[in-house]
Structure 1
Amino acid sequence: MDGFLSALGQRLAERWLTLLVLPGALFLAVATAARTLGQAHALDRDLLTDRITHWAQTPTASSLGGQVILLGAVLAGAAGAGLTAQGLGALLQRTALAADWYSWPNPARKCADTLVARRRARWTAAADRYLRQLDADAHRLALHGRRADPAPRRAAHHAMRRISAEMPYRPTWSGDRLHAVALRLEHDHHLDLPVVWPHLWLTLPETTRAEITTAEQALARAATMAGWALLYASLTMWWWPAAPLCAALALTARFRLRAAADTYAQLLSAAARLHATDLAIQLGIEHTGPLDRGLGDAITEQLRTSSPHPRPPGGGPSP
């Protein structure tokens, strides 16, 4: 037991160090340089060296007690910056997935509604081009008896999926990528994923749950990187070199967020399609063969909760 607790404490300390303290310490170093140099002397290395040397030679920094206090302050500040970045990342992740954008405050909701309308118009135009290319390829096959070059068809399909895998319903690509999983499962198998998923999760094998958890953590880490980009953006008002660092973090976070959302969506879809029959067995639903629409209807109907009964007209408690 002591060995387990020791190993657990070591792993927690490593995660605390790598996820909070080290990125936070780098941020504190950049913030110190920003406040020391300012815009006028943004790249003055000699000035920064002189200031740091002066601080290191003060009585407080040169004494043992002062160094302990300074180290504690740096660790606390770094951890605080890391927690702030994680909090901003959680907010940005919720915004990027936009599952509840209908309930956002009015200015944000109107902006999201405009983005959805624009993305839907672009997707519809791209889908029309793809369908016309499919018709042209089918006509060529029927007329000449040979298949057309698949490159234009693939390019049209890629252009459509680059906007969204399905008809856009959310203001962001990542949000629509996850929403497309639920739409496709509902269309193909009549499986209501938001209703079924909590029950399905409990029946998944440990290896499958580990893969999905890893993908979810990658999504959270990408959002945290976007949170760091916001923190570095706040330093640009004092020090312009923070701007390219902020831009690099933001672009990397965007790429990683999309990649993580795509991986997460694929794993959700695969888990539902492969293990819905296992859930049916747990629910006592008799079925043979793979997941089909009949089984999807049966699982969804059994797991969907009924609407609450309204109170009687007299206002008393319901029976």
Structure 2
Amino acid sequence: MGGVLNALGQKLAERWLTLLVLPGALFLATATAAATLGQAHALDPHRLTDRITHWIQAPAATTAGGQVVLLGAVLAASAAAGLMAQGLGVLVQRGTLAPDWETWPRPLRQGARARVAVRRTRWNAAAHRYRQQLDADARALARDGVRADRAARRAAHEAWRRLAAEEPARPTWSGDRIHAVSVRLARDHHLDLSVLWPHLWLVLPDTTRAEITTAEQALTRAVTLAGWAVLYAPLTVWWWPAAPLAAALVLTARYRIHTAVDTYAQLLEAAARLHVVDLAASLAIDHTGPVTPALGDALMQQLRPRTPLAAQHGGGRTER
């Protein structure tokens, strides 16, 4: 038991050092350079080394006690910066996925609604262009008996799907990518993902749950990186070299968020389609063959909780 606890403690210490302290120490170093150099001496290494040398030679930094206190302060400040970045990452994730944008404060809600309208208009226009290309290819085949080159059709389809997998309902691509899973499952199989998922998770194989957890962790790391970008951005007021660093973090975080969201959405949909029959078997719902809308209706009827009033009168379950 002691060996297990020691291994667990070592792993937690490694994660604490990797996720909080090291990125936090880099942020503190950048903030120190920003405060020391300023805009006038932004790229003056001699000024920075002279100031650091002066600090090192201070009496408080030359004693063992002073060095311990200094090290503890740096570690604590680094960890605090890391926790702040993680907190900002949570806000970034909420804003990026925007599952509840219709409940945001009015100015944000109005901006999100306008963004949804713009994205929906662009999506419908791209869908129209794709349908026009399909019709043109069909007419060419009927007239000449020769199939048209697929390049134009594929380009139109890719431009359409790149905007959103389904008709936009959220202000961001990432939010719509997750929302598309719910739309498809409801349309194809009459499944409500928000009701289905907690029950389905309990019957998923360990390997599937591990893959989904890995995707969730990748998304968490990506939004935390965006949180670091938010922390670095104010440093540009005092030190302009922080601007390209913040910009690089934003671009990297954006790419990683898109990649992680796409992977996570694919895994959610695949897990639901592959294992919903297993959940039905666990609930003693008799079904053979692939997932059908009838099976989805039976599952939702059994999984949706009844309202208190319906329960008192023996009524049916709630409808959503």
TM-score by length of 1: 0.96
Q: What pairs up with 1:12-31 in 2 under 5 angstroms?
A: 12-31=12-31
Query: How far apart, in 2, do the equivalents of 1:173 and 1:145 lie?
Result: 40
Query: How far apart, in 2, do the equivalents of 1:144 and 1:308 lie?
Result: 66
Deviations 1:182-232 (A, max 9, x none): 101111111111111110000000000000000011111100000000000
Query: How far apart, in 2, do the equivalents of 1:294 and 1:135 lie?
Result: 34
**Match in the other structure for 2:317:** none
**Match in the other structure for 1:241:** 241
Q: Say whether residues 1:296 and 2:305 are aligned partners.
A: no
After TM superposition, give the deviation of residue 306 of structure 1 in Å.
Answer: 2.4
Query: How far apart, in 1, do the equivalents of 2:131 and 2:146 lie?
Result: 19
**Match in the other structure for 1:273:** 273
Between 137-146 and 296-305, the greater mean CA deviation after superposition: 137-146
**Match in the other structure for 1:40:** 40
Between 225-234 and 185-194, the greater mean CA deviation after superposition: 185-194
Q: Say whether residues 1:71 and 2:71 are aligned partners.
A: yes
Deviations 1:253-297 (A, max 9, x none): 000000000000000000000000000001111001011111111
Q: Secondary structure at the match of 2:254?
A: helix
Query: How far apart, in 2, do the equivalents of 1:258 and 1:151 lie?
Result: 26
Q: Which amino acid aligns with 1:170?
A: R
Q: Which amino acid aligns with 1:111?
A: G
**Match in the other structure for 2:216:** 216
Q: Percent same amino acid at aligned positions? A: 69
Q: Say whether residues 1:143 and 2:148 are aligned partners.
A: no
Between 296-305 and 254-263, the greater mean CA deviation after superposition: 296-305
Give unpaired runs (5+ residues) of structure 2: 313-320
**Match in the other structure for 2:315:** none
After TM superposition, give the deviation of residue 303 of structure 1 in Å.
Answer: 0.7
**Match in the other structure for 1:87:** 87
Give unpaired runs (5+ residues) of structure 1: 313-319
Q: How many residues align?
A: 311
Q: What pairs up with 1:170-249 in 2 under 5 angstroms?
A: 170-249=170-249
Query: How far apart, in 1, do the equivalents of 2:255 and 2:208 lie?
Result: 25
**Match in the other structure for 1:306:** 306
Q: Which amino acid aligns with 1:104?
A: W
After TM superposition, give the deviation of residue 146 of structure 1 in Å.
Answer: 2.7
Query: How far apart, in 1, do the equivalents of 2:216 and 2:124 lie?
Result: 30
Deviations 1:149-184 (A, max 9, x none): 111111111111111110000000000000001101
**Match in the other structure for 1:317:** none
Q: Say whether residues 1:253 and 2:233 are aligned partners.
A: no
TM-score by length of 2: 0.95
Query: How far apart, in 1, do the equivalents of 2:45 and 2:301 lie?
Result: 68
Q: Which amino acid aligns with 1:303?
A: L
Query: How far apart, in 2, do the equivalents of 1:229 and 1:273 lie?
Result: 37
Deviations 1:104-147 (A, max 9, x none): 01111001001000000110100100111111122222332232
